[in-house]
Chain A
């Protein structure tokens, strides 16, 4: 399959498809998407906490969630499931996620150049106006001209 006939991007189908790996292990699921954004959900799981006493999720699963949500936003904006890799991703934690609550990750691709996709997003546990974290990052497009 060449890059030009890659199928239209469908994040719901991608996540529901017969695949294993890290996303399935974490239990990340699809919520919704638009022309340049995608929203995913990470269910609360005690195996993912950083401290058994507080029950607060570790940072890593939220990084994974935001990496997935922003990566899917890039595919949504490009309209095709084309190869790319994360160059960098930064998360600013505004507050801990509440113990027992699912975390929702919303990623947006706000700028696309020939080689780089610029992304941002938020993670929240129910109220987008009261986020857990802000994310910012870049992706390198692997099908781009050298």
Chain B
């Protein structure tokens, strides 16, 4: 799970691993100025970015050590629902792997701020797991 920091876009958003929740990596995105959208609110795209990274981290956590999973994940569909405005505070996200097959992974993921029972956004992602290249 330490591989979370290897994703350059996660570093760009300031995301780090906070621990785990129900066996999946729990990620935190502390507030920073570069995440602001409308005045006083987080940008929906930054929240979507956190959801994506938590979804990939959740799949990574199900794989054996050493599998080059991230480099061979390709998003097919990403559907984000926004429930509440993101306040200018830390945001948490944790993914729940629905299925990891040989070709496709299905993941659900939600993001919250103060209260995990009151998500600010949730997403479903379907990703292709490409075969590792032979070279």
Q: Which of B53, B78, B85 has the most CB of A within 10 A?
A: B78
- A48 to B34: give the CA distance in the assembly, Å: 13
Q: Contact size class for B?
A: 35 or more
A25 touches B9 (CB 8 A): no
Report B80-118 CB contacts with A as 1/0, cut-off 8 Å: 111001000000000000000000000000000000000
- A91 to B49: give the CA distance in the assembly, Å: 13
- A88 to B96: give the CA distance in the assembly, Å: 20
B52 touches A59 (CB 8 A): yes
B70 touches A50 (CB 8 A): yes
A91 touches B78 (CB 8 A): yes
Whether A30 sits at the interface, judged by CB under 8 Å, is: no
Report A104-144 CB contacts with B as 1/0, cut-off 8 Å: 00000000000000000000000000000000000000000
Residues of A near B9 (CB, < 8 A) are 47-50, 57-58, 60-61
A49 touches B8 (CB 8 A): yes
Give the shortest distance, in Å, between A75 (CB) and chain B (any CB). 12
Contacts A21-B34, A50-B73 given; 15 further ones with Cβ under 8 A? Answer: A20-B36, A22-B35, A24-B34, A47-B9, A50-B70, A52-B6, A58-B8, A60-B45, A60-B46, A60-B52, A60-B53, A64-B43, A87-B82, A89-B82, A92-B76
